[in-house]
């Protein structure tokens, strides 16, 4: 069963409904013990980086996330949940992220003709093979809502990239730790396929 982590800064309902459409059992929890016992973890996130990290640490769920990273339990961060996997963000100077993926989150540049936040459909380009991308078109379109974007220290951690004023990491994979800057739960058939792929990873024990 998949645990959706509730730390007060996540869009839980839409993620729950997306998995329900796939007839995949999930439960929402703010208990680290329950999360550690799950087959996989979803870390959603909306709002500002500093507030989210403060809420996450106060929730007591960080040990469950560290357990996932170290045990091979598949972990998927969505939107701000992906940004939380990084070392830090310009949106919260001096606030430490989880540090699961070496890198930093920076504000998207003000570019003529492009609105910030980046809101709407854009393509993603695969940068490496991954079970999370199986069955997708070559450059599928997904749904974004964000003003800050992730940049990895190691290019090998970039799963997909997207161009919006600058080329940024739109999905990440470091071992069993995955993240999507876009919202798969709002990305139609493509997002549905990504969630199906994540479920398959969970069924295979993180491989």
pLDDT, tens only, 179-188: 999 999 999 9
Q: What is the DSSP string of 140-181?
A: -EEEEEESEEEEESSGGGEEEEEESSSEEEEEEEETTEEEES
| Residue in 146, 183, 192, 203 annotated catalytic | 183
The CA distances from residue 167 to 20, 48, 170, 173, 175, in Å, are 33, 22, 9, 17, 23
Predicted local confidence at residue 69, as pLDDT: 97
Catalytic residue among 127, 150, 169, 185: 185
Q: How far apart are CA 146 and CA 182, in angstroms?
A: 8
| Per-residue model confidence as pLDDT tens digits over 26-51 | 999 999 999 999 999 999 998 999 99
185 has catalytic annotation: yes
Burial of 30 (0-12, 13-18, 19+ CB in 10 A): middle
**Does residue 206 surpass a pLDDT of 60?**
no
List, for residues 104-161, the tens digit of each pLDDT value.
999 999 987 899 999 999 999 999 999 999 999 888 999 999 999 999 999 999 999 9
Range of the domain at 7: 2-203
Q: Is the pLDDT of residue 72 over 70?
A: yes
Q: What is the CATH number of the domain that holds 106?
A: 3.40.50.880
Point out the catalytic residue in the list 67, 79, 90, 118. Answer: 79
Q: Is 136 helix (H, G, I), strand (E, B) or coil?
A: coil
- pTM here? 0.96
Distance of CA 133 to the CA centre of its chain: 14
Average pLDDT of the residues of the chain: 95
- Whether pLDDT at 1 is above 70: yes
Q: How many domains does the chain have?
A: 1
Per-residue pLDDT at 10: 76
């Amino acid at each position: 069963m998949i645990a959706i982590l509730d730390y007060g800064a996540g869009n839980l309902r839409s993620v729950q409904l997306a998995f329900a459409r796939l007839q995949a059992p999930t439960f929402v929890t703010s208990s680290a013990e329950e999360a550690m016992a799950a087959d996989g973890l979803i870390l959603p996130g909306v709002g500002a980086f500093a507030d989210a990290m403060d809420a996450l640490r106060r929730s007591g769920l960080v040990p469950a996330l560290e357990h996932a990273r170290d045990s091979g339990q598949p972990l998927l961060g969505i939107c701000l949940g992906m940004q939380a996997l990084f070392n830090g963000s310009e949106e919260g100077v001096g606030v430490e992220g989880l540090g699961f993926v070496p890198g930093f989150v920076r504000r998207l540049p003000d570019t003529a003709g492009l609105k910030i936040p980046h809101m709407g459909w854009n393509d993603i380009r695969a940068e490496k093979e991954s079970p999370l991308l199986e069955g997708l078109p070559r450059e599928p379109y997904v749904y974004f809502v964000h003003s800050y974007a992730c940049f990895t220290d190691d290019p090998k951690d970039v799963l997909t990239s997207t161009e919006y004023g600058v080329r940024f990491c739109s999905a990440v994979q470091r071992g069993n730790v995955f993240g999507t800057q876009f919202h798969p739960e709002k990305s139609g058939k493509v997002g549905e396929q990504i969630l199906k792929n994540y479920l398959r990873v969970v069924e295979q024990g993180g491989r």
